[in-house]
Chains A and B, each alone.
Chain A
Amino acid sequence: MSAETKIAPYRSDVRKRVIRVALAGNPNSGKTTVFNALTGLRQKIANYPGVTIERKSGILTGPDQQTFEIIDLPGIYSLVPKSLDEQIAVDILTGTCPMEPPPDLVVVVADVTNLARNLYLCTQIIDIGLPVVLALNMMDLARKMHLKVNVEGLARRLNIPVVPISAKQMEGLDTLKETLFMFGQKGANGRNGHTILKSVELARVCEPLVEWFQQHGIASPAGAYAEALRVISQPEVLERWQNRNGQSELPALVEKARQELAERGIPWKQAEVRIRYAVIDQICAQNITQPERTGGELSEKIDRVLTHKYFGPVIMFLILATMFQSIYTWAEVPMNAIENGLSLLGQQIERVLPPGPLQDMLVNGVVAGVGAVLVFLPQIVFLFFFLAILEDTGYLARVAFIMDRFMAKIGLSGQSVIPLLSSFACAVPGIMATRTIQNQRDRLITILVAPFMSCSARLPVYTLLIGAFIPGIWFGGIFYLPGLVLLLMYLLGMVAAVVSATILQKFVIKGQTTNFIMELPSYRVPVWRFIFYRVYEAGKAFVTNAGKIILAVSIVLWFLASYPKPDAQHVQEMQGLAKAGQQVDNFHEIRQSYAGRLGQLIEPAIRPLGFDWKIGIGLITSFAAREVIVSTLATIYNLQDVDETSVDLRTALQRDTYPDTGKPVFTPLVALSLMVFFVLACQCMSTLAIVRRETNTWRWPIFMFFYMLLFAYLASFTVFQVGTALGFGS
């Protein structure tokens, strides 16, 4: 295509218009791979308004600067949707989506090694009258399997362009692009509504209906055949026509067709599937020569070990343990580097800027906030690196296969296992990992229960409180009480997750439990390029969306803890009193900050849990991240350079008493109640920010916050009140 090509005047408007090309196909047919190959990194990821489903689009520029917007639709098996993401894809294709008009052209990406099932969708899309290009993907596998495809034959029979490609090997993509460019210049050629359905004898039962539809507004034979099949198999479709057309002979015609099918032993509900598959089987028989059973053989051999009755679970345990162990240890290095780097930056700012509110805000608000965002990145990067490998090799589906038995008991599926396990490290990457869950209902429930898993940020809190208040008693030389309590906290989180999953399914997220039908893809060698994409995308999504919220909340929290500043006169007065040897309020400075005031404000509410206002401050500031309560307590007790293992901090906690009664603020029971609160409450702005990002609405993070708060409050209340009643209060 040369630059001098003459541009005919009638084309000028076409050239300016963006041509919208949708990629449709079965899950796992390689759509995303084709999408990446066509658009490179020029991608835009947004959400469809109000739903959790991502809209991925990218730009492809043709010769003559013509612009093609490529849209990656969610994977579908047919135009009868079963879930929300399928619904969106189907609505867009059928032109019933309020948010997006139907595309100008559909590229159906089909896995050539499983052509029949892929053609089912393809013929449905052809029949609704959209221009279709069929991209026969995975030709490399077909060659390996000695599977021969008559591409021209298929193209002739389906009456659409058919392009053999191998997206992974970047083969045939130029031809695919050229086909798109050609469409951009000429529009669809030769589409005359020709239907392939007519070619099977069985389709005759549709004919009276086809005639009726052609008289009632569906001109193209393909459209009329497709509608006839739908009206026979789906009662809703018949109802829609009846509502639109009132009295007509349609119901009688449908009844007659159904009867004819019944005579041939075909239930009417299966009409569309049976007739389409009859045609497709015919097409495949004519255009594909499948050698004696091949394919899947290597996979089956690998599976003999990896999903073996005994080796399978053991190997899975080892793989996952290694994976999480590496995430843990590898992420620590960059996390420390980030922390050190930011503290150096803070020191630098302190050196350059004069002390004052600006310096304080930059160092303790902004830099700390940026740190709060960045500190998650290593974990996200490593988790997604492993997740992408697991998914691309096909092993992720095996984990789901092995674990489904247990997850089914709580109404979820095996696909929730990895996100929930990841949440033991940190709920943020765990929640991001829920993207691998197909079913939207399962995904939402998993997101909502993931933060109950005791993450690594809770560990410092447990360490401090257990170290200070749980006596190191051995039972029978085997059980060590502090260890038992720690275990109990982890178990409590898991029990809470199970209980909540059950409650949520009963009362909040009803929806039908779809049966867990999952494809087990053949094992494949991962492509590093795509793994890089996945990691990059995950990191970017976190920083650009959740990052903003986390930074803003960090600054607000800094403000609450630092303002208003005590006035100089008051400070002098206090110092005077102290010098004179009088009783002073050690906590005056923190007491009159906004955080302190908030702590005092909520004190009546948290007293029944055994907490005083100082713990209240800790609850507020630890919203930034749970472990912040440790440094907050250190600040409150005027200790420098301490962490959760410091004896100083433990002693300070043990010594603190209520000024009015002289009783200790912290007792083992209070510590227990506080730990239970930390297990259950959603004390983590980053989790809420990522839930906002993943569910695309504030509704779920807000719900999550209050739901978990209620759970935590009730549990801590019970622990403290029952404990006190039983005499453990002191």
Chain B
Amino acid sequence: MKTQLKSVSDRVFSLDDLKPGEEAIIAGYRDDIADELRLLEMGLIIGSVVRLVKFAPFGDPIQIRVRGTDLSLRRALAKSILTRPTHLNRYERRN
């Protein structure tokens, strides 16, 4: 996973670094992530487009939209989800 990220590593952000309304592509998960499988099953797989819809009024959790569904995730978890800007790879966006 690391090698895969290296090429774009300077452009990789945590999911919770996005601004409200901003879209990105899921690039991978940090090794320490909990509940990785559940996130994957819910469609947060590498290459999926994810949008940070908003932060909750008190700053945590966050609301994201992936594959047409809105999910609430805590920031601690979102920190372990890596994303990269959508313009880097238009091909994968369609997947």
A270 interfacial contact with B, CB 8 Å = yes
Chain A: which residue is nearest B95 at the CB level?
A281
Residues of B within 8 A of A699 (CB): none
Instruction: Assess the B43–A277 pair: CB atoms within 8 A.
Output: yes
Given that A77-B42, A277-B45, A404-B74 are known contacts, is A116 also in contact with B67, CB under 8 Å in the complex? yes
- Chain A 395-419 interface mask (CB, 8 Å, partner B; 1/0): 0010011101110100000000000
Instruction: Assess the A113–B68 pair: CB atoms within 8 A.
Output: yes
Range, interface on chain B? 35 or more
Residues of A within 8 A of B4 (CB): 265
Kindly provide the distance from the CB of B48 to the nearest chain A CB, expressed in whole angstroms: 9
Instruction: Assess the A518–B71 pair: CB atoms within 8 A.
Output: yes
- Chain A 295-321 interface mask (CB, 8 Å, partner B; 1/0): 110011001000111101100000000
- How far is it, in angstroms, between the C-alpha of A77 and the C-alpha of B42 when the chains are bound? 7
Residues of A within 8 A of B68 (CB): 113-114, 295-296
Residues of A within 8 A of B59 (CB): 405
Kindly provide the distance from the CB of A173 to the nearest chain B CB, expressed in whole angstroms: 25
- From 52 to 95 in chain B, residues with beta carbon under 8 angstroms from any chain A beta carbon are 53-61, 63, 65, 67-74, 76-77, 95
**6 CB-based A-B contacts, threshold 8 Å:** A270-B40, A299-B70, A401-B56, A516-B61, A517-B71, A520-B63
Instruction: Assess the A515–B74 pair: CB atoms within 8 A.
Output: yes
Instruction: Assess the A515–B69 pair: CB atoms within 8 A.
Output: no
Residues of A within 8 A of B41 (CB): 77-78, 80, 117, 120, 273
Instruction: Assess the A269–B37 pair: CB atoms within 8 A.
Output: yes
Instruction: Assess the B58–A406 pair: CB atoms within 8 A.
Output: yes
Instruction: Assess the A515–B56 pair: CB atoms within 8 A.
Output: no
Besides the known contacts A120-B41, A296-B68, A515-B77, 7 further A-B residue pairs in the complex with CB atoms under 8 A apart: A117-B42, A265-B1, A295-B68, A408-B74, A516-B72, A517-B39, A520-B71
Residues of B within 8 A of A198 (CB): none
A95 interfacial contact with B, CB 8 Å = no
Instruction: Assess the A401–B34 pair: CB atoms within 8 A.
Output: no
- How far is it, in angstroms, between the C-alpha of A310 and the C-alpha of B70 when the chains are bound? 21
Given that A303-B54, A405-B59 are known contacts, is A520 also in contact with B70, CB under 8 Å in the complex? yes
Residues of A within 8 A of B54 (CB): 303, 307
B35 interfacial contact with A, CB 8 Å = yes
Residues of A within 8 A of B37 (CB): 78, 80, 269, 273
A514 interfacial contact with B, CB 8 Å = yes
Instruction: Assess the B56–A307 pair: CB atoms within 8 A.
Output: yes
- How far is it, in angstroms, between the C-alpha of A120 and the C-alpha of B44 when the chains are bound? 13
Within the complex, which residue of A267, A402, A406 is in contact with B1, where a contact is CB–CB below 8 Å? A267
- How far is it, in angstroms, between the C-alpha of A270 and the C-alpha of B28 when the chains are bound? 11
Given that A77-B42, A516-B74, A520-B71 are known contacts, is A401 also in contact with B35, CB under 8 Å in the complex? no
A565 interfacial contact with B, CB 8 Å = no
- How far is it, in angstroms, between the C-alpha of A217 and the C-alpha of B29 when the chains are bound? 36
Instruction: Assess the B57–A309 pair: CB atoms within 8 A.
Output: yes
Given that A308-B57, A404-B56 are known contacts, is A274 also in contact with B45, CB under 8 Å in the complex? yes
- From 502 to 528 in chain A, residues with beta carbon under 8 angstroms from any chain B beta carbon are 514-522
- How far is it, in angstroms, between the C-alpha of A282 and the C-alpha of B51 when the chains are bound? 22
Instruction: Assess the B40–A273 pair: CB atoms within 8 A.
Output: yes
Residues of B within 8 A of A78 (CB): 37, 41
Given that A80-B37, A515-B73 are known contacts, is A307 also in contact with B57, CB under 8 Å in the complex? yes
A82 interfacial contact with B, CB 8 Å = yes
- How far is it, in angstroms, between the C-alpha of A200 and the C-alpha of B55 when the chains are bound? 38
Given that A401-B61, A404-B72 are known contacts, is A517 also in contact with B67, CB under 8 Å in the complex? no
- How far is it, in angstroms, between the C-alpha of A115 and the C-alpha of B60 when the chains are bound? 29
Kindly provide the distance from the CB of A367 to the nearest chain B CB, expressed in whole angstroms: 48
Residues of B within 8 A of A273 (CB): 37, 40-41, 45
Kindly provide the distance from the CB of B26 to the nearest chain A CB, expressed in whole angstroms: 11
Kindly provide the distance from the CB of A124 to the nearest chain B CB, expressed in whole angstroms: 10
Range, interface on chain A? 35 or more
Instruction: Assess the A515–B63 pair: CB atoms within 8 A.
Output: no
Residues of B within 8 A of A521 (CB): 70
Kindly provide the distance from the CB of B7 to the nearest chain A CB, expressed in whole angstroms: 11
**Chain B residues with a Cβ under 8 A of chain A:** 1, 3-4, 34-43, 45-46, 53-61, 63, 65, 67-74, 76-77, 95
Instruction: Assess the A77–B38 pair: CB atoms within 8 A.
Output: yes
Kindly provide the distance from the CB of B95 to the nearest chain A CB, expressed in whole angstroms: 6
Chain B: which residue is nearest A312 at the CB level?
B57
Instruction: Assess the B60–A404 pair: CB atoms within 8 A.
Output: yes
- How far is it, in angstroms, between the C-alpha of A515 and the C-alpha of B44 when the chains are bound? 15
Instruction: Assess the B73–A517 pair: CB atoms within 8 A.
Output: yes
Chain B: which residue is nearest A400 at the CB level?
B72
Instruction: Assess the B77–A114 pair: CB atoms within 8 A.
Output: no
Instruction: Assess the B74–A401 pair: CB atoms within 8 A.
Output: no
- How far is it, in angstroms, between the C-alpha of A265 and the C-alpha of B77 when the chains are bound? 23
Chain A: which residue is nearest B78 at the CB level?
A515
Lowest 3 CB-CB distances: which A-B pairs, in order? A520-B70, A273-B40, A405-B58
Within the complex, which residue of B38, B46, B65, B72 is in contact with A401, where a contact is CB–CB below 8 Å? B72
Kindly provide the distance from the CB of B42 to the nearest chain A CB, expressed in whole angstroms: 6
Chain B: which residue is nearest A522 at the CB level?
B70
Instruction: Assess the B69–A518 pair: CB atoms within 8 A.
Output: no
Instruction: Assess the A519–B58 pair: CB atoms within 8 A.
Output: no
- How far is it, in angstroms, between the C-alpha of A404 and the C-alpha of B61 when the chains are bound? 7
Instruction: Assess the B56–A117 pair: CB atoms within 8 A.
Output: no
Residues of B within 8 A of A274 (CB): 45-46
Given that A269-B36, A516-B74, A517-B38 are known contacts, is A117 also in contact with B45, CB under 8 Å in the complex? no
Instruction: Assess the B43–A116 pair: CB atoms within 8 A.
Output: yes
Residues of B within 8 A of A270 (CB): 40, 45-46
Residues of A within 8 A of B58 (CB): 313, 402, 405-406
Kindly provide the distance from the CB of A387 to the nearest chain B CB, expressed in whole angstroms: 19
- From 375 to 405 in chain A, residues with beta carbon under 8 angstroms from any chain B beta carbon are 397, 400-402, 404-405
- How far is it, in angstroms, between the C-alpha of A98 and the C-alpha of B75 when the chains are bound? 39
Kindly provide the distance from the CB of A233 to the nearest chain B CB, expressed in whole angstroms: 8
Chain B: which residue is nearest A264 at the CB level?
B4
Residues of A within 8 A of B71 (CB): 517-520
Residues of A within 8 A of B45 (CB): 270, 273-274, 277
Kindly provide the distance from the CB of A539 to the nearest chain B CB, expressed in whole angstroms: 31
Instruction: Assess the A397–B42 pair: CB atoms within 8 A.
Output: no
- How far is it, in angstroms, between the C-alpha of A303 and the C-alpha of B64 when the chains are bound? 13
Given that A267-B1, A303-B54, A519-B70 are known contacts, is A405 also in contact with B61, CB under 8 Å in the complex? yes
Residues of A within 8 A of B46 (CB): 270, 274
Chain B: which residue is nearest A513 at the CB level?
B34
Residues of B within 8 A of A295 (CB): 68
Kindly provide the distance from the CB of B45 to the nearest chain A CB, expressed in whole angstroms: 6
Kindly provide the distance from the CB of A430 to the nearest chain B CB, expressed in whole angstroms: 23
- How far is it, in angstroms, between the C-alpha of A517 and the C-alpha of B76 when the chains are bound? 11
Residues of A within 8 A of B36 (CB): 269
- How far is it, in angstroms, between the C-alpha of A295 and the C-alpha of B65 when the chains are bound? 11
Instruction: Assess the A519–B69 pair: CB atoms within 8 A.
Output: yes
Chain B: which residue is nearest A113 at the CB level?
B68
Instruction: Assess the B43–A517 pair: CB atoms within 8 A.
Output: no
Kindly provide the distance from the CB of B44 to the nearest chain A CB, expressed in whole angstroms: 9
Residues of A within 8 A of B74 (CB): 404, 408, 515-516
- Chain A 172-203 interface mask (CB, 8 Å, partner B; 1/0): 00000000000000000000000000000000
Residues of B within 8 A of A514 (CB): 35
Kindly provide the distance from the CB of B79 to the nearest chain A CB, expressed in whole angstroms: 11
